[in-house]
Structure 1
Amino acid sequence: MLETTIEIEKAATILKLLGDKTRLTMVKMLDSNDCCVCEFVEIFKASQPAISQHLRKLKDAGIVKETRRGQWIIYSLNKNSDYYSLVQNILEHLPNQDYRIKELEEQGLRISCE
């Protein structure tokens, strides 16, 4: 994989975005699962506008991307981003968050918008 150098200013912006615990957790979850806004709302017990705001910031920075499935928007990690290797380096030091998805599945709430 080709390593890219990022401007300090851009790196600071990415790190600032990931400095938020909710956003950092979302990005870690998206590392292994695609998720819908409604799933994050359930996981974080936060309002839909608050979750959408977090995702918009991550999307604007190019960290996540969205795919439309019918009327739903599914979020995933943007592996084509210039910042992907930086994000990946951070994520590999974090504990797995898949248990959050498992809890959703057990509650019957995985992709509850479909």
Structure 2
Amino acid sequence: MSETRKIALELERSANVLKLLGDKTRLTMMKILDNHDACVCEFVEIFKTSQPAISQHVRKLKDVGMVKETRRGQWIIYSLNKEGEFFPLVEDLLRHLPNQDYRLKELEEQGLRISCE
């Protein structure tokens, strides 16, 4: 493969990652995962949307390697994939976003933080 073709492919892949992060919900999820692991049930409560919709967002992030999952009993907990190919790009972007810890604090106050455990 020519060097020009490699560069074009890399730009295409980076553009796709940025397009995924152009969605406010996915971008917010990534910022939350920057400091905390979370499960789908927590995202459902945070975003007040359906579980299938949240699962679709998470799947898209996982498919490109930005998010990884860990099983805890019957539950799946999501975290940033810091070994992922695009993590340096994502890490730099997340550094410029406002902290989202208040969203998890609100869940804790409602007794809904990690309600799936």
TM-score tier (shorter): over 0.9
Q: Deviations over 1:33-73 (max 9, x none)?
A: 00000000000000000000000000001000000000000
Matched, 1:19 2:22: yes
Matched, 1:95 2:106: no
Provide the rounded CA distance (Å) in 2 between the counterparts of 1:97 and 1:61: 23
> One-letter code of the match for 2:28?
T
Residue in 1 aligned with 2:84?
81
Summarize the alignment of residues 1-114 of structure 1 with structure 2, pairs less than 5 Å apart.
Answer: 7-114=10-117
Q: Deviations over 1:80-102 (max 9, x none)?
A: 00100000111000000000000
Larger Rg, first or second structure (1 or 2): 2
Uncovered stretches (5+) of structure 2, i.e. residues with no partner: 1-6
SS of equivalent to 1:74: strand
